Amino acid sequence: MATKINMTAITNNLPTIRYRVREYEKKYRRKENTVHVIAVSKKRPKEAIELLYHQGHRHFGENYLQEALPKIQNLSKLEIIWHFIGKIQSNKTAEIATNFDWVQTLERPKIAVRLNAQRPEHKEPLNTLIQINSSGEISKSGINMEELPALVKLIDSLPRLRLQGVMTMPAPHISFDDQRKSFSTIMSALKTFNYDLPVFSFGTSGDFEAAIAEGSTMVRLGNVIFGPREG
């Protein structure tokens, strides 16, 4: 069953979220308009996506390929930029390389090689983020910091992938200070490498203020835009 959608709530949420993101940029002395919002539309019907699209929103994130493909096909007339933010299975890479504009959850060399080989020639290189494991994360997704240089080097050698930066998803922390700490730990480790990568996809509904405080340039928001997910 698709989650029920409250059209009025969604219509009101987007401007509120945009406003909050701008306020956090000011509060934490970030440059204006440097934090971008990805609307995470997993388990939301295509009507909810259309609604945001008509409010001017373009970037949407999906976790589950089987759920995402029909939505992408249904909405193919709209100029949506699709981000894959779920776990990547190696037998699904061709569909991801064909249907998405960004992949945020790259963690295995083998997957990078496959996505590169399968990215259609007529499309731009696939924008790629490497997922970094945050300490204390329950899901244990993402690579450890020591593995980063080798994966960066590999992706740089693959012409059909465009490495844009990193993504992380820490375990939910109750306190704001703990949230900030998990992002700042990763940020300071990244600084030691001196990479010139522009994108830090840090922050979800529960911790995006902390993520913006610590330098996020991309927040992935589901519940605060669409309302609570059911199931």
Ligand X SMILES: *Cc1c(COP(=O)(O)O)cnc(C)c1O
Annotate 144-169 with DSSP letters as a single string. -GGGHHHHHHHHHT-TTEEEEEEEE-
CB 106 within 8 A of CB 131: yes
Q: Which span sits near ligand X by CB under 6 A: 5-13, 17-25, 72-80, 198-206?
A: 198-206
Q: Which of 3, 34, 63, 184 binds ligand X (CB under 6 A)?
A: 63
3 lies in the site for ligand X, by CB under 6 A: no
Contact call for residue 42 and ligand X (CB under 6 A): yes
Taking residues 79 to 118 in sequence order and writing x for each that binds ligand X by CB under 6 A, - otherwise, the string is: ------x---------------------------------
Nearer to ligand X, 141 or 160 (CB): 141
For the residues of 118-135, what is the DSSP string, one character each? HS-TTSPPEEEEEEEPPT
Q: Interacting stretch for ligand X, rule CB under 6 A, among 26-34, 158-166, 185-193, 200-208?
A: 200-208
Q: Which residue has the tokens 């589901």?
A: 222
What does each C-alpha distance from 58 to 53, 75, 114, 118 come to in angstroms?
A: 6, 12, 27, 24
Q: Is there binding between residue 20 and ligand X (CB under 6 A)?
A: no
Binding interface with ligand X (CB under 6 A): 40, 42, 63, 85, 169, 204-206, 220-223
